[in-house]
Amino acid sequence: MALTLPEAAKLSTTDLQRGVIETFVQESSILDRIPLLSISGNAYAYNEEATLPGVEFRGINEAYSESTGTVNQKSESLVILGGDADVDRFIVQTRGNLNDQRAVQTRMKVKAASFKFADTFFNGDVSANPKSFDGLRKRLTGAQVISAGENGAPIVGESDKDRHDFFDLLDALIGRVPGLNSTNGALYANAAVIAKIKSAARRLGGHEMVQETLTGKIVGTYNGIPLLDPNATGGGAEILPQTETHGKATDTSSIYAVRFGEAEGDQAVTGLTNGGVMVDDLGQLEVKPAYRTRVEFYCGLAVFGGKAAARLNGVLAK
């Protein structure tokens, strides 16, 4: 069974775990909506459709030509994301009148973990970090990657033609992800690109702000599809930076269209987990006078369909 974290928070058995999960939801525009498929063990094996079997018309008393489809066997592994937060007993005792110091540190740890997951969701590369998982940038190839012109394409530009050309590209991006709509996915871009899309849309139409039923957040949309910023890394760098090279341009970025699904049959992007978000209050340590809280998330990512997501690169925030 797949659950989103907002749904999982309702089922939490402790206030500590519920608070941690709710922080993930508040801080992440991915973990607040991606379904997490609960699996057994540390990996999920599945078959990806490769070629379909043949079918034909037949005449009376004729036999069919037997044929079967082919599949590619694939597997996605879980990885371990998390960390420990230690707070000295002296700080707890002397500064507890200001606010709960352990809660502050736990929230910061969860915030960092949510940023790490988002960064890996797009930019993860197992060849660079074998302990993580491959993100969409590495997984998307071929027709699922659209290039915006030879040297990039502006969003607002200098004329309505520039704006229409950009929205044609954005429509083409959405078209590469069949079934994407307001309830099952999103468009992801950095804050500068989103601001320019809003600006261009004010001139041409197609943009509005809505409150989502699932997350309760107020978000901008393009033709009803949420337009979201995945935010920054823990170090402050944009997850979808405006520093990609496209032709002669060195200040472009990418927009991702992502359709989420709950299971393999949805042929979409699905999160994987075993146990969900786990949080433990380990109490006072023996080796030093400090209280430790541990947050761990056994997680993974599966792109079950070849058209579950797409990327538009070469976008100029101009």
**Total-model pTM:** 0.89
Let me know if residue 22 belongs to a domain.
Answer: yes
Q: Give the whole-angstrom CA distance, residue 192 versus residue 69.
A: 45
Let me know if residue 59 belongs to a domain.
Answer: no
Q: Give the whole-angstrom CA distance, residue 166 versus residue 161.
A: 9
264-273: per-residue pLDDT in tens? Answer: 889 999 999 9
Let me know if residue 63 belongs to a domain.
Answer: no
Let me know if residue 70 belongs to a domain.
Answer: no
Phi, psi for residue 294 in degrees, rounded to 5: -115, 130
pLDDT of residue 90: 92
pLDDT of residue 142: 93
Average pLDDT for the chain: 89
Q: Is the dihedral of CA 174, 178, 181, 185 positive or negative?
A: negative
17-26: per-residue pLDDT in tens? Answer: 777 777 777 8
For residue 100, the enclosing domain spans 1-48+82-318
**How many degrees, rounded to 5, is the angle at CA 216 between CA 30 and CA 189?**
35
pLDDT of residue 101: 85
Helix (H) or strand (E) holding 188, with range, is: strand 185-188
Q: Which band of pLDDT confidence, cut at 50, 70 and 90, is reported for residue 102?
A: confident
Please give the torsion angle defined by the CA atoms of residues 295, 298, 303 and 308, in that order, rounded to the nearest 10 degrees.
Answer: -30
Let me know if residue 69 belongs to a domain.
Answer: no
Specify the number of domains making up the chain.
1
**Lowest-pLDDT choice from 96-100, 132-136, 212-216, 299-303:** 96-100
Q: Give the whole-angstrom CA distance, residue 254 versus residue 45.
A: 30
Q: For the purposes of burial, counting CB atoms within 10 Å of the CB of 296, is it exposed (0-12), middle (13-18) or buried (19 or more)?
A: middle
pLDDT of residue 249: 94
Let me know if residue 176 belongs to a domain.
Answer: yes
Q: Where are the alpha helices (DSSP H) in the chain?
A: 5-10, 15-27, 89-95, 101-123, 136-139, 160-175, 191-204
Tokens coding 225: 């599809």
- Residue 227: which of 184, 188, 170, 277 has the closest Cα? 188
Q: Which band of pLDDT confidence, cut at 50, 70 and 90, is reported for residue 302?
A: very high
Query: Which residues, in sequence order, are CB contacts of 292 under 8 Å at separation 6+?
Result: 84, 85, 86, 282, 283, 285
| Model confidence at 98: pLDDT above 60 | no
**Lowest-pLDDT choice from 122-131, 182-191, 215-224, 242-251:** 215-224
Let me know if residue 278 belongs to a domain.
Answer: yes
Highest mean pLDDT among 8-12, 46-50, 122-126, 220-224: 122-126
Q: Which band of pLDDT confidence, cut at 50, 70 and 90, is reported for residue 67?
A: confident
**Cα separation values, 224 from 107, 158, 219, 313, Å:** 32, 26, 10, 22
| Model confidence at 314: pLDDT above 70 | yes
Percent with pLDDT over 70 in the chain: 95
**Lowest-pLDDT choice from 47-56, 125-134, 284-293:** 47-56
Let me know if residue 313 belongs to a domain.
Answer: yes
